[in-house]
Structure formats: structure tokens, C-alpha cells
Amino acid sequence: MILKMRVIAGLLSAGLLVIGCGSTNIVSTPIENIDAIPLKVSPLTDTQRQHWGHADLISDTIPGMSVDKAYEEIIGNKKGKKVIVAVLDSGIDLEHEDLDDVIWTNPGEKAGNGLDDDGNGYVDDVHGYNFLGGSYNEQLEYARILRLKLGDEALRARAQKKLDEEVKKAAETKQIILKNIQQTTPVLDIVKKSHLAISKQLGKENYTKEEVEAISTTDPDLQRSMNVVQQMLNYGDTIPGVIKLIEADMANFEEGLAYYSEKLDYHLNVDFNGRKVVGDDPYNVSNTNYGDGDPMYQNKEESHGTHVAGIIAAERNNGLGANGVANNVAIMSIRAVPNGDEYDKDIAMGIRYAVDNGAKIINASFGKSFSPNPEWVYDAIKYAADNDVLIVHAAGNDGMDLDNLQNPGFPNDHSFSGSEYADNVITVGAIDQTYGSEMVSSFSNYGASNVDVFAPGGAIYSSLPGSKYEFQGGTSMAAPAVSGVAALIRSYYPNLSASETKTILMDSGLSTKMSVVVAGDPSKAETFDQLSRSGKMVNAYNALIMANIMSNKKSKLP
């Protein structure tokens, strides 16, 4: 297997790979062949699991982005420029202990006075804007298309086919989960009661199978309890341990039941209308007077935006839960993604809001397979490009090849025309923590033309509402990792444009020609370098080296 450092053709020579940094020379990792480097075979420690996306492949044998190495050897005590990163997502916990000092504050707005103090068209937008108002649950777009009879007959037929497939799948899965709950609930009850009886008989909480066998009794109830715990001890060393395993299964079943119930009640329910509480016409782009200035999360389950924000910019080295990738960042919260499919109008409005209010990077960890008004979003993306704003977009979690026109993904930077209409969008797939054949996350979409890079996205530890922390996985987590690296580039090398930042992110990464499993299916294995345009994993250390070279070269131009 070959892991190479690739560089912009014609820009770098061997001599340019050395960067002066005080008295220290920083040199891009000169690795041409890593066959001799032992890869990690032991499980990651808890600390490594919580921080793996920042690790270095060469020194840690974990396929992170070399973030720690970048801070230690390149950034050090350098002072960069503050960069505003807009998180176009669900609401964010603006008071989270690890985010409260990195939340953007609109300098021209006074909180709570009901006025548009800065004249930007938005009232009380102190930390961003909420385009969803009080809504949370939403339909998927193809259910809305059918409810409102949007588009032409062909679009509605495709929407109906998709809806029928998904309703059938969700209903069948929900029934399987219900059956598992119905079967597991009495088992758990019997095991607990049996354990209580045996513990009382033996006078202790933990016991061996041999100790249970040695009990002499004619009590039929106690005999039944003995039989139950002896059987259960085949699945674990202690009955309390077995009970925890069963309870964990039950928790997973309950979570799955809630997910599929929610899907059937809201996402796939043609009669549901989550937008009616907002009061606007979401299919009229000129109807812009809606929403409010409070982009705080509004539901205890609304964790996505907070998790994304933490990956980008959770306060570093403060002794709390997680470190963000970037320092010198102000997170602008734009609440535009509900629990369901986002509206094209909200995304277009959100992009324009971010651009107009100073964001240099927009993180877009969302996407959908139907879009009745994609041109609104395309125009907003072009507007961002015209104003030098980089958009980092998650590739999606369907395990699909986005180059296949049967798998449309929205938004995108090509409008299915065969060429990109803007040079400011970078689409990100996800990798997992173990380097090797199963490195690509089984859920991650891919595409040699329509996915640009890969980054850590499997089981990422970050912030949750209420100053909590947890692991979540998805290309939604890979995109903010890249947004964080982009923020480092734009902070320390502010003369580089959005397009140049995209080029650096794509060209400075690590690449391998090893065969990897795609979509969790070994029969779909491909070489990693064929799964994206760059064929690479984003690497912060090498990106900053390349950014330094490009910045110096650019500053010397007449």
C-alpha cells in the first residue's frame, strides 16, 4: 500500500517543501511508502476514541487529520485572524460550556429590543438567525411534493415511488423492533427476579455457575431461578453484567422504535405540515419576512448543530469535553435544518445571511434526494462564491455513488450539468478510526467526480446540548472537521481565497491505493484513491504547509 503526499502540479519543488518557522524548519511528511510502518491492531483507548480525528497516521497509526501535530509544530503561539464560520444546521446550544466563548456576536445588534439595529433586515439577530421559527419536525421533501402536488407528473411519480418504498421499509422495521421489545421485556423481568432470588439465597450479588449448582432446594420457584441464572451465565461472567447487556439491547430497541415512529408520523406522513407554525410560504422565495433572531436549539433531541459546532471550534485545551479543530473562530448559528428535510428557501436564505454578515466558511451538514427549487440554492452558492465564501458540504449517509445519476443529491455544485458552476464548494465523505480495508465509513456516500475529499466522520466525540458530550457519526461530522481545517488556513493565511483554500484541502491530503470496502459491502471494494476527486484524506499539518507556500508566493505577485 502506498501513501503519498501529493502537491499542486507545477507549484512545489523539493526546495519549497521547507518552511521557516523561527529557528525551526517544518518539512512536509516525506512518506512515499508506509508498508513498513506497523498499523494499530489493538483497540483504541477511551482517550484515543474521543480524540482520534486529531491524530496523526504516521506517529499514532490512526487516520486522523494531524491536527495536534499542526498545533505543536506549525501554529504554536502564532496569532491568527478571527474567522467567522456559519453553521447552517439545527439550532446550537449557545450556552454550552465548551462553545460559549466561541459564539459569534453581531456587533451592530442590541439583544432583545425588537429592532433591526444594524439594518441588515433581521431583528435581534445577535448570534445568528432562526429561519425555522418554532418548528422542529418536518416531512421529507418527497412527502411535501405529494402533499402540495409540486412539480410535474414525472417528479410526483418518482416521489410516490420513493415514499411507498420508504413507508414499507419503515413500517416493517418498526414491527420487527416491536416484536423484539415484546420478547425481550419479559426475559429481562425474569432474569432480574431470578437474580434477586439467587442473590438472597447465596447472600451476595455476584456468584459462579458452580455456586448456583451447589444450591440444594425443593422450592420450585427457587429451582426455576437457578435454571434461569445458569442459562444466563453462558452469556456473561456475572448476572449483573448480563442484565446490563439486555438493558443495552432494550435501549437500542427503544431508540429504534422512536426513530421509525418519528419517521412514519412526520417524515413520511403526507398529511403532516410542520411549517404551519412558521407562517410563511416556503415555496415563495420573495416571502422573506419570517423566522426570528433566536438560533438556539429548541428541543432536547435537537443536538446536531451543537455537535457540528463543537467539532469545528469547541474551546481548545480548557479541560472540558472536547477540542475543536480550529482556534480563532466565531461560530454563527443559522437554524435552517429541521428534523426532516430542509426547505430550499431556508438554505438559500441562510447562505445569503451568512455571506452578508461576514462568514468566510459555511458548514453545510445536510442534504436530500429531492429538491423542487434547487435554483434558489444554486444562486445562493454562486453568491457565496462571488463573495469569497467557502461552503463545506457533507456527502451524505446512504452508502451511494453520487456519480450515478440515479442517486441525486442536493445541494451540489454541478446542477447535474457535468461541470461545476462554482469553485467554492467542497463535498466531504467520511472515514472511520481504523486505517485499513474498512477505513471508509459504511454509511458514507462517495464518487470520483462528486465527492472531493474524505475526513474523520465515524464515531466523533463532541458537544451536545446541556453542556454534555457524546459520540455521533456521519458525513455530517466529517464536513465540520474539514471546516475546521479550512478555518485554520483562512485564519493564518488570510490572503488565500475560498477557491485556493479548497485546492489546498484537496491537494495536501494523504492518499493510498489500498483496496477499501465501500458501503459496508466487500463485493464493492475499490481503491481508496478512486472514491473522490482528490483521492485523499484531509490533513491539517500538510494543508498549513501548502497554505504557507501559496500565501508567500501570492504575496510576492505584483
Q: Is the dihedral of CA 496, 379, 326, 503 positive or negative?
A: negative
69 pLDDT tier (thresholds 50, 70, 90) = very high
Burial of 490 (0-12, 13-18, 19+ CB in 10 A): buried
pLDDT for 15-27, tens place per residue?
Answer: 333 333 332 334 4
Mean pLDDT of the chain: 91
pLDDT at 5: 27
Q: Which of the following is catalytic: 28, 135, 333, 476?
A: 476
Cβ atoms of 501 and 489 within 8 Å: the answer is yes
pLDDT for 321-361, tens place per residue?
Answer: 999 999 999 999 999 999 999 999 999 999 999 999 999 99
pLDDT at 38: 64
Q: Where do we find the cell 435537537?
A: 302
Q: Give the residue-averaged pLDDT of 113-135.
A: 97
Q: How far out from the chain centre does Cα 340 lie?
A: 16
The closest of 172, 171, 170, 242 to 205, measured between CA atoms, is 242
| Phi-psi label, residue 252: left if phi above 0, alpha if psi -120 to 50, beta otherwise | alpha
Angstrom CA distances, 279 to 2, 132, 320, 380, stand at 56, 10, 40, 23
Q: Which of the following is catalytic: 51, 195, 304, 393?
A: 304
User: Is residue 521 annotated as a catalytic residue, yes or no?
Assistant: no
Residue 557 has pLDDT above 90, yes or no: no
Mention every residue, 6+ apart, whose C-beta is less than 8 A from residue 532: 429, 446, 447, 448, 451, 452, 453, 454
pLDDT for 253-290, tens place per residue?
Answer: 999 999 999 999 999 999 999 999 998 999 999 999 99
pLDDT at 30: 39
Q: How far apart are CA 129 and CA 447, in angstroms?
A: 33
B/e letters for 430-446, b = 16+ CB within 10 Å, e = fewer, are bbbbbbbeebbbbbbbb
pLDDT for 166-222, tens place per residue?
Answer: 999 999 999 999 999 999 999 999 999 999 999 999 999 999 999 999 999 999 999
Residue 419 has pLDDT above 90, yes or no: no
Q: Give the residue-averaged pLDDT of 532-553.
A: 96
pLDDT at 37: 52
Cβ atoms within 10 Å, residue 495: 12
132 pLDDT tier (thresholds 50, 70, 90) = very high
407 pLDDT tier (thresholds 50, 70, 90) = confident
pLDDT at 556: 81
User: Is residue 265 annotated as a catalytic residue, yes or no?
Assistant: yes
Name the phi and psi angles at 88, rounded to 5: -90, 100
Mention every residue, 6+ apart, whose C-beta is less than 8 A from residue 52: 44, 62, 64, 433, 456
pLDDT at 418: 78
Cβ atoms of 231 and 169 within 8 Å: the answer is no
Amino acid at 399: G
Q: How far apart are CA 391 and CA 427, in angstroms?
A: 9
Parallel, antiparallel, or unpaired for β 83-89 and 361-364? parallel
Q: Where do we find the cell 496569532?
A: 79
Mention every residue, 6+ apart, whose C-beta is less than 8 A from residue 334: 86, 87, 88, 89, 128, 129, 131, 295, 350, 353, 354
224 pLDDT tier (thresholds 50, 70, 90) = very high
Q: Which of the following is catalytic: 100, 164, 265, 386?
A: 265
Q: Residue 139 corresponds to which cell in the numbers above?
A: 416531512
pLDDT for 139-172, tens place per residue?
Answer: 999 999 999 999 999 999 999 999 999 999 999 9
DSSP state at residue 530: G
Number of alpha carbons in the 13 Å side-chain half-sphere of residue 175: 6
Percentage of residues in the chain having pLDDT higher than 70:
92
Domains of the chain: 3-136+288-508+517-555 (3.40.50.200), 161-267 (no CATH)
Residue 397 has pLDDT above 60, yes or no: yes
pLDDT for 71-85, tens place per residue?
Answer: 999 999 999 999 999
pLDDT at 6: 27
pTM for the model: 0.90
Please give the full DSSP string across 84-109, using - where no structure is assigned: EEEEEES-B-TT-TTTTTTB---TT-
Between 392 and 31, residue with greater pLDDT = 392
Residue 532 has pLDDT above 70, yes or no: yes
Q: How far apart are CA 542 and CA 12, in angstroms?
A: 13
Q: Where do we find the cell 421499509?
A: 169
pLDDT at 555: 86
39 pLDDT tier (thresholds 50, 70, 90) = low
pLDDT at 436: 86
Q: How far apart are CA 363 and CA 390, in angstroms?
A: 9
pLDDT at 314: 98
3-state secondary structure of 3: strand
pLDDT for 93-106, tens place per residue?
Answer: 999 999 999 999 99
pLDDT at 31: 43
